[in-house]
Each structure stands twice: as structure tokens, then as C-alpha cells.
Amino acid sequence: MAFIKVTPSPLRTLVVLALILSHARADPDPLQDYCIADMRNQSPYSVNGAPCINPNLASISHFTTSALSRRGNTKANQFGFNVTLTNTANLPGLNTMGLTMARIDMAGNGLVPPHSHPRASEVTICLEGVIGVGFVDTSYRLFTQILRPGESFVFPKDCFSCCVHVETMDT
């Protein structure tokens, strides 16, 4: 029996790696510009989200919400925070866009416990008060920052993060 010695080629390795990685995607691209959620159609079958209304019936109201304009009850849990989310019920145009928006209200010394978002990054914008934010990367490095009104902070995808409302702070 004869053996053939195969020497690894950098080009061959690169081609195989490119083929494998070309099939690894986080989320598929949308099939159309937008898909307004049809909340009346409770079909168990849909493509990439809730079933869509006829695109010719789309209006500006499908892309607008006031859900985040109202303060939440920060006494609803032991950590002193409340999360108000947008979803296809209060913002039908959000369907299939791969985006979520939230409002977090925090009581004095309130805490959003450590958590992660495995499929998306997160942006926090401080509107009032002073909040401490931070995350731990996959090398176990801690990144922290104090945010004041108008400042923002980005949390990388899948890193554990948390926020704390700093009621009083020496400047």
C-alpha cells in the first residue's frame, strides 16, 4: 500500500477557512426593507419574526412609539430599577430589524445586575443623574466609567455588564 504525503498549503488552508467562515452568520439579512408586524395574524409560521402586513399598508405610525416616554416603577424589584422595552406590539416596524430599544429607570443606588446580550451590543445613554457602567471582557478585564447627562457608553456583544445609579458623588 502506498501512502501519499500531503503537505499543508497556506493557500489551501485559507480557502477551506474562508469557505467555513462564509457560512457562519449571526443573523440572516432581511428579505425586504421592512416587515411591519401583523399582530392580528397569529399564524404559527413566519419568516424571521412575526408575520408581515401588506407593505402597501405601511404608515409612519408603524415606525413611531411613545412607549419609552413614561417613567417605570423602580420599586417593582429589590434592585431598584425598571426596564421598559420596545417590541412588535408597541412598535410594529421593529419587526425583523434585529434591534431592540429599552428605557431603564433607576432609583437612588439602584442596580441593573450583571447580565449579557449574546446576540447584540448595547448602548447606554445617561439622560439624568449619574450612573456607573462597566463590563468584563473575555480576558476578564474590567472596564468602568461614570456617566453624566448626555454621555453614552457601548457594551460589546456577549460581555457581562452592569449599571448602578450613583445617588451622590464627590466631584
pLDDT score for 171: 39
pLDDT score for 170: 46
CATH of the domain at 100: 2.60.120.10
- The answer to whether residue 3 sits within a structural domain is no
- The answer to whether residue 17 sits within a structural domain is no
How far apart CA 20 and CA 27 sit, in angstroms, is 16
Q: How many domains are contained in the chain?
A: 1
- The answer to whether residue 136 sits within a structural domain is yes
- The answer to whether residue 4 sits within a structural domain is no
- The answer to whether residue 153 sits within a structural domain is yes
Q: Which domain holds residue 62?
A: 30-165
Q: What is the pTM of this model?
A: 0.69
- The answer to whether residue 104 sits within a structural domain is yes
pLDDT score for 142: 96
- The answer to whether residue 43 sits within a structural domain is yes
pLDDT score for 98: 78
pLDDT score for 167: 72
- The answer to whether residue 76 sits within a structural domain is yes
Q: What is the pLDDT along the chain (171 residues), one digit of tens a residue?
A: 566 665 666 766 666 666 666 655 566 666 778 889 988 876 666 666 788 888 999 999 999 999 999 999 999 999 999 999 898 889 999 988 878 889 999 998 899 999 998 888 899 999 999 999 999 999 999 999 999 999 999 999 999 999 999 875 443
